[in-house]
Structure 1
Amino acid sequence: MESILSFCLAVLLAPFFPVVIQKVKAGIAGKSGPPWLINYYTVIKLLRKGSVYSTSTSFVFKLGPVVSLATGFMLLLFFPWAGVAPICSFHGDVIMLFYLMGLGRFFTILAALDTASPFEGMGAAREAFFSILAEVTIFCILILFFRLTGSLSFAEFFVGTHLLNLMDTHGALL
């Protein structure tokens, strides 16, 4: 029950954290920053809008954002939040996390290439390049966690019973 509650809390609080960062940056610059709930208003506004599709796009263009959002939610199922065990966890789930990240990125790039725009290749290449930078960094960090704990389970990194429990030594994962 705590795992499901943690998952729901993570989904609901996700739009709030960027506002905290923006408020801190604005405070340092002597400004007030955006309203606290601006991202929630934006999400509601975007969910009310209709979709506009070009006549040159296929079902792949419509499928790209859906798969990316679904893989993002699936990734959250494997994350332990503040010491609470995740909803899904098994030995080797770190490998599945990489495949899920790759699947979401693949469909985003595929949707970009499906637009029949002269800029499609540039946008898809930029998306692929940024993902290479981010995923290599994540991969190196997870290799470090594997070396410290000896486990391929993401949950074991933070709430496991190993000699080095990263949750106890390095604080909560939020």
Structure 2
Amino acid sequence: MGKALLHLLLLFLLSPLLLGVIGKTKALFAGRWGAPLLQPYFDLWKLARKEMVLSETTTWVFLAGPLIGFAVPPLAALFIPFGALSAPVSFNGDLILFVYLFGLSRFFTASAALDTGSSFEGMGAAREVTFSCLAEPTLLFVLIVLARLAGDLSLGAMLGSTLHLSWHQAGAALGLALVSLFVVLLVENSRIPFDDPNTHLELTMIHEVMVLDHSGPAFGLILYGAAMKLFVLGAILVRMALPMTYSSPGLNLAIFIAGMLALAIVIGVVESIMARLRLIRVPQVLVGTTLLSAFAMVLLLRQ
């Protein structure tokens, strides 16, 4: 129980910081000082103290979306090791539950958008579900590659201390899987070049247009859940990229946290140097990423 609480404490405390680092990086690229690193914490606290406005046309589904979106990332985080902290929950085949926990969150978020009866939010829900359907196969192929290397179907074993040894025998496959997972991370978290979390143009928004009618604490839960989702998916990528095999648990944890902050900086750089893709190009990129991850699996099977 204590290990799970420490795991969740790390998730709750650090996930908004990633958004602050991304925002700071983008501001520096634009020649501005930008908001403080802790601005996401201030925003969440401000939203928690605001009044929530509910439309008379909505039902319980409208409130279930933010709640499920907030609850799913902590549950999914229990299957992922954070640095020296091993996964609190692990069983054979938990990777399937991990993937479809986020599918559950996406279903309720899209349903909450449709519950408003707004044509704009329905448009965003349709785009979100379409792009997620194209990104899910990539994530599954990446997890299959890791399962093949580890000889185990649990995420704790797949992302364990022996993962760094796989770079020597299957570096090409892992490299392709790493690139594919980074693309999935950008798509699933509505980042540029697939979506712009700061846009205010309804016709071009995807995720943000689905939450236009949420306010106050409910909107705060959505933002907090999105930050935790970024942290959880980023944790998989950092565990794949960085070896954490030192005898000191504190050093391994420090490497993990530094890797997460470095990932946030990379996301900020990508968003600063790239323009958003046209909507018709996004499915093409995602299909290409799926093929790339499938090729990684083929490379691994041929060894």
Give TM-score, length-normalised by structure 2: 0.52
Q: Which SS does the other structure have where 2:91 is aligned?
A: coil
Report the Cα offset of residue 3 of structure 1. 4.3
Could you list the runs of 5+ residues in structure 1 that have no partner in the other structure?
none
Report the Cα offset of residue 10 of structure 1. 1.7
Report the Cα offset of residue 148 of structure 1. 1.3
* 83-92 or 100-109, larger mean C-alpha shift: 83-92
* Structure 1 equivalent of residue 80 of structure 2: 79
Looking at structure 1, the residues matched to 37 and 94 of structure 2 have their Cα atoms a distance apart, in angstroms, of 35
* Structure 2 equivalent of residue 91 of structure 1: 92
Q: Is 1:111 the equivalent of 2:112?
A: yes
Looking at structure 2, the residues matched to 112 and 168 of structure 1 have their Cα atoms a distance apart, in angstroms, of 35
Give the conservation status (yes or no) of the 8 Å contact 2:161–2:243: no
Cα 1:51/1:169, change in 2 over 3 Å = closer
Number of equivalenced pairs:
174
Report the Cα offset of residue 103 of structure 1. 0.8
* Structure 2 equivalent of residue 126 of structure 1: 127
Give the conservation status (yes or no) of the 8 Å contact 1:83–1:158: no
Looking at structure 2, the residues matched to 3 and 160 of structure 1 have their Cα atoms a distance apart, in angstroms, of 19
Looking at structure 2, the residues matched to 14 and 169 of structure 1 have their Cα atoms a distance apart, in angstroms, of 19
Report the Cα offset of residue 62 of structure 1. 1.1
Matches within 5 A, 1:145-160: 145-159=146-160
1:25-44 CA deviation, whole Å, 9 max, x = no partner? 32233321211210000000
Q: Relative contact order (alpha carbons < 8 A, sep ≥ 6): 1 or 2 greater?
A: 2
Which of 138, 163, 171 does residue 243 from structure 2 map onto? 171
CA-atom RMSD, angstroms? 2.4
Looking at structure 2, the residues matched to 31 and 120 of structure 1 have their Cα atoms a distance apart, in angstroms, of 33
Q: Which SS does the other structure have where 1:159 is aligned?
A: coil
Looking at structure 2, the residues matched to 153 and 83 of structure 1 have their Cα atoms a distance apart, in angstroms, of 17
* Structure 2 equivalent of residue 39 of structure 1: 40
Looking at structure 2, the residues matched to 114 and 168 of structure 1 have their Cα atoms a distance apart, in angstroms, of 39
1:28-85 CA deviation, whole Å, 9 max, x = no partner? 3332121121000000011111221111111111111111211122111111000321
Give the conservation status (yes or no) of the 8 Å contact 2:164–2:242: no
* Structure 2 equivalent of residue 59 of structure 1: 60
Give the conservation status (yes or no) of the 8 Å contact 2:163–2:243: no
Aligned residue type for 1:100: L
The percent of aligned pairs where both chains have the same amino acid is 43
* Structure 2 equivalent of residue 9 of structure 1: 10
Looking at structure 2, the residues matched to 110 and 78 of structure 1 have their Cα atoms a distance apart, in angstroms, of 26
Give the conservation status (yes or no) of the 8 Å contact 1:83–1:159: no
Give the conservation status (yes or no) of the 8 Å contact 1:158–1:165: no
Aligned residue type for 1:171: P
Looking at structure 1, the residues matched to 9 and 166 of structure 2 have their Cα atoms a distance apart, in angstroms, of 25
Q: Which SS does the other structure have where 2:159 is aligned?
A: helix
Q: Which SS does the other structure have where 1:11 is aligned?
A: helix
Looking at structure 2, the residues matched to 12 and 163 of structure 1 have their Cα atoms a distance apart, in angstroms, of 27
* 144-153 or 38-47, larger mean C-alpha shift: 144-153
Q: Which SS does the other structure have where 1:6 is aligned?
A: helix
Looking at structure 1, the residues matched to 156 and 138 of structure 2 have their Cα atoms a distance apart, in angstroms, of 19
